[in-house]
């Protein structure tokens, strides 16, 4: 029995959702994967549209903020360890 267009869209949405879940799990387990993808995208940014470049810039800024947040957290922990509070 052939699927209707609505059934195909629903099936494809399920496939995409599973793919996104697997990809997110990979990125969480290996953040360097996301970093490598973003660096590769930045290398070819001249071929992107304005909207795509802005989205890429936002993702890069979010990644940088995450690194900054973690660096600040580790620096505070290092200060506690130095004083013997850790």
Question: What pLDDT does residue 11 have?
Answer: 93
In tens digits, the chain (86 residues) has pLDDT values of 788 999 999 999 999 999 999 988 887 788 788 888 888 888 888 888 889 989 989 989 998 998 899 999 999 999 999 998 75
Q: Are 42 and 56 in contact (CB under 8 A)?
A: yes
pTM > 0.85: yes or no = no
Instruction: Return the residue matching tokens 């799990």.
Output: 25
The Cα 61–Cα 54 span in angstroms is 10
The Cα 23–Cα 56 span in angstroms is 18
């Amino acid at each position: 029995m052939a699927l209707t267009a609505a059934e195909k869209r629903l099936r494809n949405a399920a496939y995409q959702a599973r793919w996104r879940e697997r990809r997110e799990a990979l990125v969480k387990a290996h953040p360097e994967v996301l970093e490598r993808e973003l660096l590769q995208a930045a290398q070819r940014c001249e071929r992107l549209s304005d909207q795509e470049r802005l989205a890429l810039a936002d993702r890069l800024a979010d990644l940088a903020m995450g690194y900054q947040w973690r660096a600040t957290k580790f620096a505070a922990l290092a200060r506690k360890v130095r004083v013997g509070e850790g």
